[in-house]
Structure 1
Amino acid sequence: MNIIFLLAPFSILLALIGLAGFWWAVRNGQYDDPAGDASRILLDDAQDVPEPPL
């Protein structure tokens, strides 16, 4: 039963660290690419296309 008094604050601390990391990423523009994914799917990269056998 005493382990709960150790694990509960530790899990809340880990959750707060994860939330702070997510908040930092959002504030620094890590998720700001509105046109990138939409246009990237339409592009063909030469390195992704296998060459035909000779």
Structure 2
Amino acid sequence: MSERENEIMIPAPVIAKEFGVTRRTINRWMNNKAMEFPIPAEINNRLFFARSQIE
């Protein structure tokens, strides 16, 4: 198994709630290359972030 497969994956809406922002803001952060926001994994058309990349 790869390291990414062993990661705890958090869905985008949960990340948005933790940061106190909307899902749209998360999308803006992902599109802003200067922020270097982590690239999510797409699973069943949903975005998931590795917990270790968010903290």
Is the structural similarity TM-score above 0.5? no
Q: Which protein, 1 or 2, shows the higher relative CO under an 8 Å CA cutoff with sep ≥ 6?
A: 2
TM-score (norm 2): 0.24
The structure having more radius of gyration, on CA atoms, is 1
More strand by share: 2
